[in-house]
Amino acid sequence: MSFFAINSFPINFQQTTRSSSLTFEKLEDARTQHSHIKNDHDFVFTFGLSSVQDPLIIKNTSRSLQVQEIISRLSSAQLGVSIYLKKWLMLGLEGEFSNFTDFKGAHYTGFNDFNFKSKFRLLNKKRWALSLMPFISIPSNQGKYQVTGLPTYPRVNNLKFSVLSDQAIGYGATLISEYIFNWAQVVLNIAYKKSQKALISDNTGLDVIDFRDQLITGLGGYIPINNAWGINIEWSRRWTSPFLKSKQAQNELFLGSAIGITKSLHSYAGVGFGNLLTNNDGNDLRFSLGLKFTHHLFQKPKRKLRAVLKSEILNNLKNNQKIVNFQKRTQTNSLKKSAPPSCETMKFFGSSDVAILRFKVNKYTFNPESDEIIKLLNYINNNKHFIDSIILEAHTSKRGLKKRTKKAYLKSKKFNFYLSKKRLLFVRKLILNQGIDKKIIKSRAFGQTKNVDKNRNSKAHRRNRRVEILISTNDYFKKNCQDLVN
């Protein structure tokens, strides 16, 4: 006894569409505050191609064996546009044109249903974000097909249906959660879709393809290899009513790679494997590749940032501990916000050419995502055309040396030198990430030898644990200092 079964994602319910995410191929991201790749764009244009093997077949009743092809291949070209009107609001439109071939070699073409979607970001933290994406599909009513030439399968012979359209408006919503790990970012998609006419009945009146109610789940991970290249793994499954008992629960495992060609142009490619479980459905093979173009229409680009958040960094400083001072080496002066002085007396940081970064005891890192650090790095990045050279000087305190032997003192002195060197390398990397030429940066580690405060109390120790950023401005600054960007 044969069973007529769908065996792919693209037929009737729009699964060849692409997400607006740069890190995932089909799954949507929640757009966290930070990412392993830059995600500050507000416009995405997507062009993709895909090819699916055996998207519609006849299976036996146990769904473990394919007994007859109906549609042997389906190829699609996808176009998508997404615009972030606000940081928390995205609007998108997707469409695709498909060509499918039946078991007799005949070719058919047409447009799939068009998808409108909007994404609302509900929560946005440094590592975690939550978004809700309502969507609606507009029927194209194309891709109509009649099965002929299968007299041995009377239940489906001469059956008419649409391959590319649900032939009715569909609607639903996707709940999207995303979390940033040190080594990857992970998304979870849970969606519900209602499409009243996504139903095919055989010649006896039996419903053999029923996607009127769908619960759609997806789990994906993006692992960065470097700043411009990463791999993504996505697993998706569609549950049809009754959700836990239906044998039409399609599944697919997708393995792909995303590469940043330029700052605005990204490419992706991968392959999807279906039929992961014997009695479930899914594409035998699905190949896809494409390009995603990003742009800034309304929002200014953020600073260059590699957003790998190390747990040791996050725990190094208390939230209320100030780590940045704009000051002279021995005197604290806040960055003036009043009318700027003349360029003859103006300094890079307003009243000083020095910014000082503070560290906790025996620590050589701090949270690079704190508001103070982001403000400082943004300021340096926005005004780097005024910089002639940068000198980084790293220091430690003499805490704990009061009653030590000479041997212990020398050991501690050596430790403090290497500690200051690590602080130096950490800050130097932050500066280089702003696009500063390494040739203009000079670095010096002093250990405990140049304490600015000789007292033996916690306040003095804190002042001594520091890296000083000394900026020398160029001649252009002396004539155009009023163009400093805060």
Give the relative orientation of helices 406-432 and 371-382 as an angle to the nearest 10 degrees. Answer: 60
Domain ranges of the chain: 2-295, 311-483
pLDDT of residue 5: 43
pLDDT along the chain (486 residues), means of 10: 37 53 88 78 92 80 72 91 92 93 94 94 88 95 90 86 89 95 92 89 76 90 88 89 66 90 91 66 77 85 41 33 48 40 76 87 85 86 89 86 59 86 92 89 91 85 90 86 77
Half-sphere exposure of 196 (CA within 13 A, CB side): 3
Q: Could you tell me the two tokens for 147?
A: 């099965």
Question: Alpha-carbon distance 249 to 240, whole Å?
Answer: 6
pLDDT of residue 96: 92
Q: Which residues lie across from 57 on neighbouring strands?
A: 5, 69
Write phi, then psi, for 348 (nearest 5 degrees).
-60, -40
Q: Which fold has domain 2-295?
A: Porin (2.40.160)
Find all residues with CB under 8 Å of 76, minimum gap 6, and list them: 10, 16, 49, 50, 51, 52, 96, 97, 98, 99, 112
Q: Give the position of tokens 């393995």.
A: 255
Judge if the upstream peptide bond of residue 151 is cis by omega within 30 degrees of 0.
no
Q: Could you tell me the two tokens for 134?
A: 């309502």
Q: Give the position of tokens 């607006």.
A: 20
Question: Alpha-carbon distance 236 to 244, whole Å?
Answer: 15
Question: Alpha-carbon distance 442 to 471, whole Å?
Answer: 11
Write phi, then psi, for 154 (nearest 5 degrees).
-60, -25
Architecture of the domain spanning 311-483? 2-Layer Sandwich (3.30)
**Distances in Å between the alpha carbon of 206 and those of 21, 147, 258, 450?**
39, 16, 43, 86
Question: Alpha-carbon distance 399 to 386, whole Å?
Answer: 38
Collapse the DSSP code of 279 into the 3-class scheme (helix H, G, I; strand E, B; otherwise coil) and give the result: coil
Question: Alpha-carbon distance 102 to 161, whole Å?
Answer: 13
0.85 surpassed by pTM: no
Among 20, 21, 16, which Cα is nearest to 230's?
21
